[in-house]
Amino acid sequence: MNQTPRLLAAVDMGSNSFRLMIGRVDESLTASGPASQLFQVDALREPVRLAAGLTPDKYLDQPARRRGIDALRRFGDRLRDFSPDQVRAVATNTLRVAKNASEFLIEAEHALGFPIEVIAGREEARLIYLGASHDAPACSGNRLVVDIGGGSTEFIIGSGYTSKLMESLYIGCVSHSRQFFPSGNVDEYAMKQAELAARREIQVLVRQYRAAGWQQAVGSSGTARALAELIELNGMNDNPAEHGITREGLERLKRALVKAENANRVKLVGLKADRIPVLPGGLSIMLGVFAELDIDRMDVTDGALRLGVLYDLLGRTHHEDMRTITVDQFMRRYGVDRAQAQRVRQAALGLLAQFPEPRNERRDDNLALLGWAGGCMRSA
């Protein structure tokens, strides 16, 4: 019987930052049976700003590629003693859209020493929610999680640890800053245009998300945390004891940026140098989120994609794969004929077995994905 590795590692190749998170698995016996917990033991962050290297025709330029490879090489040094089943590396929006992503990934995998998976927007959203739900304050009803990344923004509504609605939009703090605030210049007109552009993108999900409703709004990862810290440290909330992001805090932060006329000249307590180039874009997107979804206050959590990857990896090593749970939920929700689904699954797996094993993919992963797909098929 395979033993759970004592350490698990997640590599998050985001459009703004690359992050490595290492967690220790602690197992214990509870009244309801064995239970596992993850405790962070190490974390590394590199402000790669990969999305800033995308050319107008969607090619990743050489300086951005070099920054990414250098960061992954440092991560690889830290993970040298890890086995493949202890590590999952995922890449997000920039490598979804870059036309030369495949060339970069060959060099990137060599630098890191592990396979890299370019995940779809909704898979990114699922993992973000999984991570946020393990770290956010407790909530008895639906929870809305918003993650503003460098090249995309994910919106998820879920309950407990299970996501219900997931959407990924192509607006991010790096891309938005480059488009509306070149060289860091900020004025009333540019900020207004950036907010309106964000609101237009968000409008596609407003009706469905408002209909589902939520009792708690949570911002996850870098942009949300940076905004919350700036608002709190600079006393921009009406109530000085208020934590998280508030509507009035965002408005005051906006006025401070506009008054400074350039993000590089704004004087704010707690503003980190690597956050300055993407601050106007991230702020304008968050303003659009608050306006379109009618949010007054948002909690903030550090739990995001990388933590979700760790919990997903933990589930797989314990034969409690979260994706299996999701497939089962879809089957029940849509009334799938399980006997027919099993026949479809077996036929599909039988066909796959007739093909040679791929060079660059794990056959076990292929079998799992095809099995889940077959399990969700409905009879005509």
Please write the tens of the pLDDT for every residue from 110-124.
Answer: 999 999 999 999 999
Residue 380's pLDDT band, with cuts at 50, 70 and 90, is very low
- Total domains in the fold of the chain: 3
pLDDT, average across residues 199-212: 97
CATH number at residue 46: 3.30.420.40
Per-residue 3-state assignment (H helix, E strand, C coil) for the chain: CCCCCCEEEEEEECCCCEEEEEEEEEEEEECCEEEEEEEEEEEEEECCCHHHHECCCCCECHHHHHHHHHHHHHHHHHCCCCCHHHEEEEECHHHHHCCCHHHHHHHHHHHHCCCEEECCHHHHHHHHHHHHHHHCCCCCCEEEEEEECCCCEEEEEEECCEEEEEEEECCCHHHHHHHHCHHHECCHHHHHHHHHHHHHHHHHHHHHHHHHCCCEEEEEHHHHHHHHHHHHHCCCCCCCCCCCEEHHHHHHHHHHHHHHCECCCCCCCCCCHHHHHHHHHHHHHHHHHHHHCCCCEEEEECCCHHHHHHHHHHHHHCCCCHHHHHHHHHHHHCCCCHHHHHHHHHHHHHHHCCCCCCCCCCHHHHHHHHHHHHHCCCCC
- Long-range CB pairs of 180-185 (<8 Å, 24+ gap) are 180/280, 180/281, 180/284, 181/263, 181/280, 181/281, 183/262, 184/262, 184/263, 184/264, 184/276, 184/277, 184/280, 185/261, 185/262
The pLDDT, as a whole number, for residue 140 is 81
The DSSP bridge pattern shows strands 116-118 and 87-91 to be parallel
Same domain, 241 and 358: no
pLDDT at site 236: 93
Look at residues 303, 312, 23, 310 and name the one whose alpha carbon lies nearest to residue 137. 303
Q: Which residue matches tokens 């940076």?
A: 226
pLDDT for residue 319: 41
Q: What is the mean pLDDT of residues 344-356?
A: 84
Q: Are residues 288 and 192 in the same domain?
A: yes
Q: Can you give the residue range of the structural domain that contains 181?
A: 137-302
319, two tokens: 């034969």
pLDDT of residue 38: 83
pLDDT of residue 271: 93
Does one domain contain both 297 and 216?
Answer: yes
pLDDT band at residue 316 under the 50/70/90 scheme: low
Residue 319 lies in a domain: no
Distance CA 66, CA 73 (A): 10
What is the reported pLDDT for 353? 83
* Residue 108 sits in the same domain as residue 220: no
Q: Do 295 and 177 share a structural domain? A: yes
User: pLDDT value at position 334?
Assistant: 72
Which of 90, 120, 150 is the endpoint of a domain? 120
Number of residues written out for the chain = 380
Task: For residue 131, tell me if it sits in a domain.
Answer: no
- Average pLDDT estimate for 209-237: 94
Q: Which of 3-17, 58-72, 85-99, 267-281 has the lowest mean pLDDT?
A: 3-17
- Give the tens place of pLDDT for each residue, 24-51: 987 765 444 556 778 899 999 999 999 9
* Count of CB atoms situated within 10 Å of the CB of 74: 16
CA distance 288 to 141: 24
Q: Does one domain contain both 24 and 112? A: yes
The answer to the question of residue 212 being in a domain is: yes
Query: What's 245's domain CATH number?
Result: 3.30.420.150
What band does 4 get if pLDDT is binned at 50, 70 and 90?
very low
Assigned domain for 232 exists: yes
- pLDDT for residue 308 is more than 90: yes
Q: Does 223 lie in the same domain as 108?
A: no
pTM recorded for the entire structure: 0.79
Read off the pLDDT of each residue in 151-173 and give the average, rounded to a whole number.
93
143, part of any domain: yes
Share of the chain above pLDDT 90, in %: 67
240 and 364 co-located in one domain: no
151 and 283 belong to one structural domain: yes
> How far apart are alpha carbons 20 and 297 in whole angstroms?
30
pLDDT above 70 covers a percentage of the chain that reads 87
Residue closest to 189 by CA, chosen among 258, 289, 256: 258
Q: pLDDT class for 240, splitting at 50, 70, 90? A: confident
Confirm whether 314 is domain-assigned.
Answer: no
Residues 50 and 82 in one domain: yes
pLDDT of residue 326: 61
Give yes or no for residue 257 having a pLDDT over 50. yes
Quick one: 202 and 336 in the same domain?
A: no
Same domain, 12 and 142: no
Is-contact 15 148, C-beta < 8 A? no
The conformational region for residue 149 under phi > 0 = left, psi -120 to 50 = alpha, else beta, is beta
CB–CB of 134/163 below 8 Å?
no
pLDDT above 70: residue 333: no
- pLDDT (0 to 100) of residue 227: 96
Indicate the residue type of 223.
Answer: T
Amino acid code (one letter) for 118 = V
